[in-house]
Amino acid sequence: MTSDQGDKGIDASVPPSGSGCVECDEAGGWWFHLRRCAQCGHVGCCDSSPAKHATGHFRETGHPLVQSFEPGENWYWDYASNEMYESGPELAAPVSHPAEQPAPGPAGRVPADWAKTLRA
C-alpha cells in the first residue's frame, strides 16, 4: 500500500468472521476463493465465486479493503480505487482459512461441475 493510503479502512485487531464465506455458510452455498474485510473481518467469497459476497459486503458497508483469505497469500484489493496491493498491514490471526479446507470449498458442498459453473 502506498503511504498516502495508510491504514484507511483497516482495523488490524479484528479477527476474521470465520473460516468460510458468512453468507454462503448461512445459505448452504459454496465458494471458489475467500476475501477478508480489513475493517470488520467479514469473510466473503471472491468475484470468481457464484455469489460474489465480498463485493456485496463492500457495496453494503463501504468498507473498501479486503485481503486474500487464501493460505500463502497476503495481497489486498481496494474496491474504491480498483487497485491491488502486494502487501499491507498484518491482520489479526488467523490470516487464512485452514490449509486443509479445499478451494473451491467447503468440502461436501461444491458441485461436481463447479468449473463449468464458474465459466457460465
Residue 100 is assigned to a structural domain of this protein: yes
Are the C-beta atoms of 34 and 43 separated by less than 8 Å? yes
Residue 71 is assigned to a structural domain of this protein: yes
- Residue 71, C-alpha cell as written in the block: 493460505
Summarised one tens digit per residue, pLDDT across range 69-81 is 999 999 999 999 9
Summarised one tens digit per residue, pLDDT across range 109-119 is 999 999 998 87
Residue 50 is assigned to a structural domain of this protein: yes
Residue whose C-alpha cell reads 489479526 in the numeric block: 92
Domain containing residue 35: 22-115
Residue 81 is assigned to a structural domain of this protein: yes
The answer for residues whose C-beta is within 8 angstroms of residue 23's C-beta and 6 or more apart is 29, 44, 45, 51, 53, 56
Are the C-beta atoms of 89 and 5 separated by less than 8 Å? no
* pTM as predicted: 0.93
Are the C-beta atoms of 65 and 45 separated by less than 8 Å? no
Q: How many domains, the chain?
A: 1
**Residue 111, preceding bond cis, omega within 30 degrees?**
no
Summarised one tens digit per residue, pLDDT across range 17-37 is 999 999 999 999 999 999 999
Residue 14 is assigned to a structural domain of this protein: no
- Residue 55, C-alpha cell as written in the block: 463485493
Residue 93 is assigned to a structural domain of this protein: yes
Q: Given a cut of 90, is residue 3 above it in pLDDT?
A: no
Q: Distance between CA 117 and CA 25 in Å, rounded?
A: 18
The CATH code of the domain that includes 84 is 3.30.40.10
Residue 90 is assigned to a structural domain of this protein: yes
Residue 33 is assigned to a structural domain of this protein: yes
